Chain A
Amino acid sequence: MSKARRALLLLALLALVALPALTGKFYVELVAKIMIMAVFAMSLDLLVGVTGLVSLGHAAFFGLAGYVLVLAAPDKYAAVSLWTSLPLAVIASALLALVIGALALRTRGVYFIMVTLAFSQMVYFVFHDTRVAGGSDGTYLYTKPQTNIGSWATFDLANSTHFYYAMLVLLIVSFAFLRILLASRFGHALRGIRSNEQRMRALGFNTYAYKLAAFTIAGAIAGLAGYFSAVQFGFVNPEMISWHQSANVLLMVILGGMGNLLGAIVGAFALVLTQDLFSSLTKHWLLLMGGFVIAAVMLLPRGLTGGGLAWKGWLRGVRGG
């Protein structure tokens, strides 16, 4: 990371820390939502940007964790403990990712995209077409998980400022975890697989096992994000699992720039904030959104965080060099 980048990162972090003191509840809740999406997008970046696995079914793990939270409560007015329901939700997502990954990773390229999409649609229809949790209508969770440890009242998830800081910690911890992972030999092997899987196998790497491990970790982190998304909105429905959601998070990763995690965070902020801006301007905001995405991908093919480089390349192209 360059010095300028590091300074910018520190500035952004300070802004996030200071935000609740500067703005009202609306932006605190909006940014908390964005930070959840950023964690979700980082988990997908581990697959798409780092390992080179384009998954179009990542919402399955996000949504499942939300459903596990709702189903873990004995009834919708009873509060469950964060400390038991969160691990349960994350483990459920990781297991689902392990099973789907074990099968989907036997395919490659465009077939992998289709198979991940198909599996996530299966999960979608399980919740859509059965009465497990309200079918297509979804179901409410009226009480936030309680966070007491013994008799010690830690923080209150129903308080939007508390929730905001909890999500900021979640974002930082997830980012740090993934950064350490990427710097390890495991992370280097994943990048090698993206670059040249045939060569990795010829060197003796069991690439299937590496990819499955990455897929499972990504599923678990997506579950972490999905759990808190359900906590924030107090509501789950099959849309959480739908392919729109999978495509949305993929767009964040592509928009922000793939493979460096920061891009996923920037992409989440950029996409949600522009959505917010455009939808306040006009009811035809989806049209504007489409134009924005097309312009971003054409002008910044490496995403917002790879901007400088792409700009130089574009200039070179214009000059005909």
Chain B
Amino acid sequence: MAEALLAARELTFHFGGLVAVDRVSLDLRRSEIHALIGTNGAGKSTLINLLAGELAASSGTITFRNQPVARPRPQRMARLGIGRTFQRSNVFAELSAFENCRLAAQASRPRAWAVHESAQRCEASTAAAMNVLDTVGLSARSRVAAGELSHGERRGLEIAMCLATDPQVLLLDEPLAGMGAEESQQVLGVLRSLKAERAILLVEHDMDAVFAVADVITVMADGSVLASGPPERVRRDEAVRAAYLGETI
């Protein structure tokens, strides 16, 4: 089995009296698309926020390449190579699609403090931005302000910005939500092409999409893991059928 790039052990998050994430353990391995499913409020987005450092876990540990991450913070996790997208499109609305990606690409470039160098002349980040826009099929829309893109295009831009930071682990929070069938297929194609070198966590409600691309599926309910394993095993799991999937498959 491939090495686990990002792993969670007994991760717990209390939200006041509510246990939003309850002792969740999870391995995200290279070359795997790991789908995370569950009803609304199951704790999927909270788990992503814990893994991305946006929220601090009440207990439990996160390890990256077998090294525990002490005090995970968003910028630290991003620097380690963990990219994430947001459930609701979270882009720089007044910047163009291209500028969004260029800014994202600049995050990991050296000499960020060289204040005399024009950002427009930074070839590395310009090339990276063009590249990721091409990957998600937005090249033709690169000059359009992000705020004026269609919903689906903005979802694509989310992924492009994440890719521009050249992450090894992708945490994707419902990337297909609100996308048309054609756009969804394109994004799924992108995910398949990306997974060779990377670990991908995919939170998604579209079951057809999940079973089409996932190598591993983890089912969450009420903050804890109900079942985890290859798609076929999860599909047959009695507890999962009873709790969640019963009628959909």
Binding site for A on B (CB under 8 A): 52, 54, 73-75, 78-79, 84, 86, 90-95, 99, 102-104, 106-109, 112-120, 122, 125, 161, 165
1/0 contact string of A172-205 vs chain B (CB within 8 Å)? 0000000011011111110110011011111111
Question: CA A188 – CA B104 in complex, angstroms?
Answer: 11
Question: Contacts A195-B94, A204-B108 given: A184-B114 contact, CB under 8 Å?
Answer: yes
Q: Are B78 and A185 in contact (CB under 8 A)?
A: no
Closest residue of chain B to A192 (Cβ to Cβ) is B103
Give 6 closest A-B pairs by Cβ, nearest first: A204-B78, A201-B74, A204-B107, A203-B107, A185-B119, A195-B92
Q: Are B115 and A186 in contact (CB under 8 A)?
A: yes
Q: Are B119 and A203 in contact (CB under 8 A)?
A: no
Interface of B is mostly: loop
Question: CA A187 – CA B102 in complex, angstroms?
Answer: 13
Closest residue of chain A to B109 (Cβ to Cβ) is A185
Q: Does A245 contact B (CB under 8 A)?
A: no
Residues of B within 8 A of A201 (CB): 73-75, 78
Q: Are B79 and A185 in contact (CB under 8 A)?
A: no
Closest residue of chain B to A201 (Cβ to Cβ) is B74
Question: CA A206 – CA B120 in complex, angstroms?
Answer: 21
Interface residues on A, range: 20 to 34
Residues of B within 8 A of A198 (CB): 54, 74, 90
Counting residue pairs across A and B whose Cβ atoms lie within 8 Å, the total is: 84
Question: CA A202 – CA B52 in complex, angstroms?
Answer: 8
Option from A180, A183, A202 in Cβ contact (under 8 Å) with B74? A202
Question: CA A30 – CA B115 in complex, angstroms?
Answer: 33
What are 19 A-B contacts defined by CB distance under 8 Å? A185-B117, A185-B125, A186-B112, A188-B103, A188-B106, A192-B103, A195-B92, A195-B95, A199-B86, A199-B92, A201-B73, A201-B75, A202-B75, A202-B78, A202-B86, A203-B78, A203-B104, A203-B107, A203-B165
Residues of B within 8 A of A192 (CB): 92, 95, 103
Q: Does A207 contact B (CB under 8 A)?
A: yes
1/0 contact string of A235-257 vs chain B (CB within 8 Å)? 00000000000000000000000
Distance from A192 Cβ to chain B, minimum over Cβ atoms (Å): 5
Distance from A50 Cβ to chain B, minimum over Cβ atoms (Å): 13
Q: Are B115 and A181 in contact (CB under 8 A)?
A: yes
Question: CA A135 – CA B122 in complex, angstroms?
Answer: 51
Residues of A within 8 A of B115 (CB): 180-181, 184, 186-187
Most buried by A among B107, B116, B122: B107
Question: CA A302 – CA B132 in complex, angstroms?
Answer: 34
Residues of B within 8 A of A181 (CB): 115
Closest residue of chain A to B93 (Cβ to Cβ) is A195
Residues of A within 8 A of B118 (CB): 180, 183-184
- Extra inter-chain contacts (10) besides given A189-B106, A192-B103, A202-B90, CB under 8 Å: A185-B106, A185-B122, A186-B112, A187-B115, A188-B119, A189-B112, A192-B95, A199-B86, A202-B54, A202-B75
Question: CA A118 – CA B106 in complex, angstroms?
Answer: 35
Q: Are B117 and A184 in contact (CB under 8 A)?
A: yes
Residues of A within 8 A of B102 (CB): 188
Residues of B within 8 A of A186 (CB): 112-115
Q: Are A187 and B107 in contact (CB under 8 A)?
A: no
Question: Contacts A192-B92, A203-B165 given: A184-B119 contact, CB under 8 Å?
Answer: yes
Question: CA A67 – CA B5 in complex, angstroms?
Answer: 56
Q: Are B113 and A203 in contact (CB under 8 A)?
A: no
Question: CA A48 – CA B193 in complex, angstroms?
Answer: 43
Option from A180, A184, A207, A213 in Cβ contact (under 8 Å) with B75? A207
Most buried by A among B75, B102, B117, B122: B75
Residues of B within 8 A of A199 (CB): 86, 90-92, 161
Question: CA A268 – CA B5 in complex, angstroms?
Answer: 55
Distance from A193 Cβ to chain B, minimum over Cβ atoms (Å): 10
Question: CA A198 – CA B91 in complex, angstroms?
Answer: 10
Distance from B225 Cβ to chain A, minimum over Cβ atoms (Å): 25
Q: Are B91 and A196 in contact (CB under 8 A)?
A: yes
Question: CA A205 – CA B113 in complex, angstroms?
Answer: 12
